[in-house]
Amino acid sequence: MADLILRNARITTLDTALPSAGTIAFADGRVLAVGDEAQVMAHANEDTRVIDAGGRRLVPGLNDSHTHLIRGGLNYNLELRWDGVRSLADAMAMLRAQVAVTPAPQWVRVVGGFSESQFAEKRLPTLDELNAAAPDTPVFILHLYDRALLNRAALRAVGYTKDTPNPPGGEIQRDRAGNPTGLLLAKPNALILYATLAMGPKLPAEYQLNSTRHFMRELNRLGITSVIDAGGGFQNYPEDYRIIEQLHADGQLTVRIAYNLFTQKKGEELADFQRWSKMVRPGQGDDLLRHNGAGEMLVFSAADFEDFREPRPDLPATLEGELANVVRFLAEQRWPFRIHATYDESITRVLDVYEQVNRDVPFDGLHWIVDHAETISPRNIDRVRALGGGIAIQHRMAYQGEFFAARYGNDALRHTPPVRRMLQAGVPVGAGTDATRVASYNPWVALYWLVSGRTLGGLQMYGDDNRLEREEALQLWTHGSAWFSTEQERKGRLAPGQFADCALLSADYFTVAEDDIPDITSMLTVVGGRIVHGTGPFAPHAPALPAPMPDWSPVNRFGGYQGGTLAQARAALAQAHGPACRVHAHDHAGHRHAAHHAVPTRDLQAFWGALGCACFAF
């Protein structure tokens, strides 16, 4: 019999045997039955929870094939997110409000997830603006892989002075007297940006547990039920995995995680994988937390971090030998592996190595992945297919298309990356975000990018030959991504026997205007048949979540991704009270909050009430 039934839904199953249905039943963490209400309700008894979906669209749970949840979770409660903010004026208002409540010696950090192109002003804040907004509180703003902005207080906190040398691959911009201005540039190596960020205060373990829970709930709010964690710089194993393992042991994971291990020190990559192979094996764990193999940094000499404001980096001559040693070991150990590769020139050299190793140690069905692949050529797509690999794509170009076009031209931009060509070649393709330090973790922004072919700044990058239909794009975010953790037989479709993972959407993804896709959220999210998030009429079904820690956390005030409610609120209130009124709003954990100036409380209450929200904070 069923544990949970969702009825009166418009279900997109992505199962060719039954593409659509109205009712679905879950039992023991799996889909039990899908079909019409009479058929499925036969599986109900007095213990079955039955929820009326209200005619809303239900889709399989979204699966991010390349993200950084584990690292992101440790820091989420520390970060002021500009993801989705539509103007620099709003972003700076948020920053000033956070500065006012952040105690010494803590920092205010904006760490990726946005682009200057998304702002109406089409620019970043100036250093003078940052110093005026925060004369005493350190502020660190990371913009893509290309730069970080530090105010004077942050420069003092990290100790950068006239005598601090530029690190390899990075530049500390200086004034005429040689003093740091606060602008750090990746030229083209992002290590200076990440190393500087790592100097900031960290949360204690108890707070990191809380922070990770809030980050997972934020992903659940957006319909994400699974991720593949690609590791990351300053994320060592096993030290930096203890928090996620503790949450798993305590039964508090609300997102399925398959994690890859990312080597940390140049010259010791092979030694890392040799050591880790004695500690953990691929697939070790369970359906909620399991090891997935190696990557995305296999060797430092193969890392070609994209910074389209800088020329393409020439990778060193040592790449082939170092990479061959690591890949040969991984193939011998039957470890799946993935590699960060932006440029076709890098991919060519990587595939030369893979083909050489495969002749000696056949990959023979071993899942291996090229991550990003923005400029991969048709020839190299075919080589990936011939060798049995897959390509994980992300919406990084939605944040950087303008910079790419300025350097390489609009013609080159039209197939960057060539998603349609990958699919035509029969290569397994999974979609994701690469959050949190470049693109946002919001999957609906990524789906908007795949469907519209536009940047967040409105630049039309792709024509019809490189855009996807909405169901095609959803496939890449569900069943397509499951291949990348070798779970394609049990994840990504709503069919009997598949994982009971789904999201009930706030708007119909298949019919809303393209520009409204990024503002879709999940009203009800289910992982393994367990409700992990609910809002609006479904809020009573959701488990309680403790308040964000510490109490000054930006999450308390602003939440995470800033959806379209901000623009809606401003337009409605400006119409009622004139353009001088200001409103800031966000939607977090099912409740919309507003801070306002010159707007009567009753009008805000009426506005939020019209949106179906019962909670107000002013």
| CATH code of the domain containing 185 | 3.10.310.70
Same domain, 84 and 187: yes
User: For residue 55, is pLDDT > 80?
Assistant: yes
pLDDT digits (tens, 9 = 90+) for 362-417: 999 999 999 999 999 999 999 999 999 999 999 999 999 999 999 999 999 999 99
Mean pLDDT lowest among 21-25, 29-33, 138-142, 184-188: 184-188
User: Beta partners for 49?
Assistant: 4
Collapsed DSSP state (helix, strand, coil) of residue 588: strand
Domain that holds residue 570: 564-610
Given a contact cutoff of 8 angstroms between Cβ atoms, the answer to whether 551 and 78 are in contact is: no
pLDDT of residue 497: 98
pLDDT of residue 188: 80
The domain that contains 51 carries what CATH number?
A: 2.30.40.10
pLDDT digits (tens, 9 = 90+) for 128-158: 999 999 999 999 999 999 999 999 999 999 9
**Higher-confidence residue: 570 or 531?**
531
Same domain, 187 and 117: yes
Confidence of residue 564 (pLDDT cuts 50, 70, 90): low
What token pair was written down for 430? 């999974």
Given a contact cutoff of 8 angstroms between Cβ atoms, the answer to whether 84 and 518 are in contact is: yes
Domain assignment present for residue 342? The answer is: no
Own/partner pairs for 314-320, CB < 8 Å, 24+ apart? Answer: 315/346, 315/349, 319/349, 319/353, 320/349, 320/352, 320/353
Domain assignment present for residue 72? The answer is: yes
Collapsed DSSP state (helix, strand, coil) of residue 504: strand
Q: Could you give the count of Cα atoms lying within 13 Å of 283 in the half-sphere of its Cβ?
A: 8
Domain assignment present for residue 243? The answer is: no
Same domain, 157 and 75: yes
Same domain, 159 and 107: yes
Same domain, 15 and 125: no
Same domain, 167 and 53: no
Residue 90 and residue 446: Cα distance in Å, rounded? 23
Given a contact cutoff of 8 angstroms between Cβ atoms, the answer to whether 428 and 475 are in contact is: no
Domain assignment present for residue 119? The answer is: yes
| φ, ψ (nearest 5 deg) of residue 544 | -70, 150
Number of domains in the chain: 3
Instruction: Give the strands of the sheet with 170-174, arranged side by side.
Output: 108-111, 139-143, 147-150, 180-186, 170-174
Q: What is the DSSP letter of 542?
A: S
3-state helix, strand, coil in the chain (%, to 5): 35, 20, 45
pLDDT digits (tens, 9 = 90+) for 286-334: 999 999 999 999 999 998 988 999 999 899 999 999 999 999 999 999 9
Same domain, 99 and 40: no
Confidence of residue 588 (pLDDT cuts 50, 70, 90): very low
pLDDT of residue 594: 40
Domain assignment present for residue 412? The answer is: no
Pure H helices in 440-484: 443-452, 470-476, 479-482
Give the end of a domain, one of 541, 572, 597: 541
Same domain, 48 and 155: no
Same domain, 103 and 187: yes
Confidence of residue 610 (pLDDT cuts 50, 70, 90): very low
Q: Can you tell me the mean pLDDT for 349-358? A: 98
Ramachandran category for residue 292: left, alpha or beta (phi over 0 → left; psi -120 to 50 → alpha): alpha
Residue from 289, 247, 244, 295 nearest 269 by CA: 295
E strand residue ranges, 342-467: 368-372, 390-394, 429-432
Domain assignment present for residue 354? The answer is: no
Same domain, 88 and 124: yes
Question: Which letter, b or e, does each residue of 336-350 get, where b requires 16 or more Cβ atoms within 10 Å of its Cβ?
Answer: bbbbbbbbbbbbebb
Collapsed DSSP state (helix, strand, coil) of residue 53: coil
Domain assignment present for residue 578? The answer is: yes
Mean pLDDT lowest among 38-52, 87-101, 203-217, 577-591: 577-591
- H/E/C letters for each residue in 574-585? HHHHCCCCEEEE
pLDDT digits (tens, 9 = 90+) for 240-283: 999 999 999 999 999 999 999 999 999 999 999 999 999 999 99
The CA angle 322-281-526, to the nearest 5 degrees, is 115
User: For residue 574, is pLDDT > 60?
Assistant: no
Collapsed DSSP state (helix, strand, coil) of residue 245: helix
**176 Cβ partners below 8 Å, 6+ apart?**
none
User: For residue 598, is pLDDT > 50?
Assistant: no
pLDDT digits (tens, 9 = 90+) for 324-350: 999 999 999 999 999 999 999 999 999
Cis peptide bond prior to 600, omega within 30° of 0: no
Domain assignment present for residue 391? The answer is: no
Q: Can you tell me the mean pLDDT for 108-123? A: 97
Same domain, 55 and 71: no
Report the sign of the C-alpha dihedral through residues 355, 361, 366, 372, in that order. Answer: negative
Looking at every residue in the chain, the average pLDDT score rounds to 92
Residue 518 and residue 450: Cα distance in Å, rounded? 11
Same domain, 46 and 83: no
User: In degrees to the nearest 10, what's the CA dihedral of 377, 382, 385, 386?
Assistant: -140
| φ, ψ (nearest 5 deg) of residue 149 | -110, 130
**400 Cβ partners below 8 Å, 6+ apart?**
115, 144, 306, 308, 455
DSSP 304-365: ----TTSPPPPPPTTHHHHHHHHHHHHHHHT--EEEEE-SHHHHHHHHHHHHHHHHHS--TT
Given a contact cutoff of 8 angstroms between Cβ atoms, the answer to whether 116 and 123 are in contact is: yes
